[in-house]
Amino acid sequence: MIDSRKLAQAFEHTFQRVPDVMVHAPGRVNLIGEHTDYNQGFVFPAAINFGTDVAIAKRNDRTVSVIALDYSGSTCHFNLDDIRFDQAQPWSNYVRGVLKILAEHFDFQGLDMAITGNVPQGAGLSSSASLEVAVLKAVASLYDLPLSGVDAALMGQRAENEFVGCSCGIMDQLISAVGKAGNALLIDCQSLAYEYHPINPNYQIVIVNSNVKRGLVDSEYNLRRKQCEEAAHRLGVTSLREATMEQLESSAEHLSDPVFRRARHVISENERTLAMARALEESDYGAVSRLMAESHRSMREDFEITVEPVDMLVEIIAQVIGVRGGVRMTGGGFGGCVVALVPRELVGAVEQAVSDKYHKRTGIRESLYICTAEQGAFSESA
């Protein structure tokens, strides 16, 4: 857990006063629904007990002064009326970007801010969205701005797309903003409608980072997007969200084999994601096991984004949990993490099996995180 006292002390030491407000925004893991977001489909993430904390206080000028505890106390200073991209301090651009977008909608003055987080970097658990949402929540709380969770998520996404230069979907920011403790969130990426589905309290979310250095991820990600767009165009639909498996199969002769398989993944993944929400609602973990296994197989064979060590982790965990839980790769692919829903009494066995087998087979040391589904920054506590 993040030590909020340490954050408050660092703020006081840096700015010679106590913070006015302290907030937390969680990271996330996606249980199912991969590469469906930019195809206007469905995703099914949960907010997790790793995130970003921000301590903040008002200033009486237009200056923003920020210290990042996790970057050796690195500091940045800028004026709200002249927010520019900073090549030297990439972490600061997430702060700069959201404040630039927020200032288009609301009036507020300068800020002193201290930031820390414990979302594992590079694991695909969305440290950037957690930071964006935490900053937005902190400023909204400090200045009593009428900012909703959905609006904050959209601002965070805009900042990342337009200011930072990463073309992410809406999932990461929305789950960080409106997640609910004990629940996963089914998000319709077309309408931004969402609904909560409970995770059985006898289960835990286990995330294992393969620690495979991800190569080609940007170029391959862009290629997958283009292939999905080509499939939608040839099927005569605005996005693959509108396509059915029957449409795809009847048009197979007009599509290259890779484009056909990319579309098959997206269409079937949308169906699996909706089925997964129903399975959780009914606590049908046999269905959860099957759906997560099918999702992983589809990512491996149709979307071609898994790598051998990730496949190996899925196999190791599946051998322990069988049909009592589910496991699949999560995230953009070409490395990164696997996610598993594991009965509490099997968590220790999963840890042991991964520890015993993964390094022996791959020569790589994994990182394992046992997680719970937590509250979003803008969610009302129950």
Dihedral of CA 351/274/198/157: which sign?
A: positive
Instruction: Provide the b/e sequence for 213-222 (b: ≥16 CB within 10 Å).
Output: ebeebeebbe
Neighbours of 146 (CB within 10 A): 8
Question: What is the strand order of the sheet 74-79 is part of?
Answer: 21-30, 45-58, 111-117, 63-68, 74-79
Q: Which of 37, 112, 172, 302 is catalytic?
A: 172
Annotated active-site residue 172? The verdict is yes
Token reading at 276: 């997964």
Indicate which residues carry an active-site annotation: 172
